[in-house]
Chains A and B, each alone.
Chain A
Amino acid sequence: MRHVVIASHAHFAQGIAQSVELLAGTPCDVRTLSCFVDGNNDVAVLAQRELDAIPDADEVVVCTDLLGGSVNNEFLQLVQRRPRVHLLTNMNLPLLLTLVLGLDDSEDLAPFLRELVSSDEVRPAYCNDALPGVDADEEF
């Protein structure tokens, strides 16, 4: 079984998880961890607790908000200690949607995650510049 943990500074994790649920429902197990709010200050302990709640044999994809931030730093240590944990950072909504919808499609997670983070779909886009490039009407 595969699990997703979404972790952030403040309530971003909880909020973006709600957005994922609104758009995609709940196709897999998604846990959230909102740090430095509601007394959640010891990120090392909390991160460990999240992973401890998941059986060792299961795969986990952890998504955090910011490379170099303390939330990601804590999980980065855990990735080095525990197998079958994959860590993505600089998360956004298209990334999480593609992740939860495609999580069970591939046998091997690593190539799926590599392709996911490098896809154009998950990059921020400047819509004004894209407007002139909108194609002519399509036909059947």
Chain B
Amino acid sequence: MIQLLRVDHRLLHGQVAVTWTSALRADCIFIVGDKVANDNVWRTTLKLGKPRGCKLVIKDMAHAIEAINSGVTDKYRMIICVQTLAEAKQLVDGCPQIRSINLGNTKETPTTREVTRQIFLEESDVEMLRELDARGIELEYRALADDSKVNVARLL
């Protein structure tokens, strides 16, 4: 059962490893992305910092979609982490069971605008969010599990 699909450019870090994992009683963290899956140093770093009692699986996008749709992930209380909204959309497009996206942290660049303290969006992200919202996908901003959900579509 997928507990959360989180967009966070830092992937697995303090807020996710400690608070989200604990609040959702997750037993599996699934990190998805072509970039991280092909970066040995980054993978080792993430594995060293993984929370106790949690499985950590890292896959590229194609293999991740295949794994989720095959049902092998169903037995876990799973948190999926991706770096970008575009990757979250790829997962949503590829896996019909995913109906909600949590926006945690996205990176600030010279071309982004600030939507919340931790969320910065490119114009292309805004388009993507509008499309996902129109399809009925929940888009919620929460930094931490206990924060109240903010509907991102309303902030656009």
Interface residues of A (CB under 8 A from B): 22-25, 27, 97, 101-102, 121, 127, 130-131, 134-135, 137-140
Contacts and interface: CB of A to CB of B under 8 A. Distances in A.
Contacts of A25: 19, 144-147
Interface string B68-85: 000011001000000000
Interface in B46-69: 47-48, 52, 55-58, 67
A100 to B, nearest CB: 10
23 contacts: A22-B14, A22-B15, A23-B14, A24-B18, A24-B19, A25-B19, A101-B18, A101-B22, A101-B23, A102-B22, A130-B48, A134-B47, A134-B48, A135-B47, A137-B43, A137-B57, A137-B58, A138-B55, A138-B56, A139-B57, A140-B57, A140-B67, A140-B76
Nearest to B47: A134
Contacts of A127: 48
A24 B144 contact: yes
A10 B58 CA distance: 42
B111 interface: no
Contact of B146 (A27, A102, A134): A27
A27 B18 CA distance: 13
A82 to B, nearest CB: 30
Nearest to A19: B14
Nearest to A119: B52
Instruction: Classify chain B's interface size.
Output: 20 to 34
A131 B19 CA distance: 24
A116 B28 CA distance: 22
A22 B117 CA distance: 13
Interface in B69-124: 72-73, 76
B55 to A, nearest CB: 6
A134 B44 contact: yes
Interface in B115-156: 144-147
| The 9 A-B residue pairs with the shortest CB-CB distance in the complex, in nearest-first order | A140-B72, A25-B144, A23-B14, A25-B146, A101-B22, A134-B47, A24-B19, A138-B57, A134-B44
A23 B52 contact: no
A56 B128 CA distance: 55
A131 B23 CA distance: 28
A99 B137 CA distance: 36
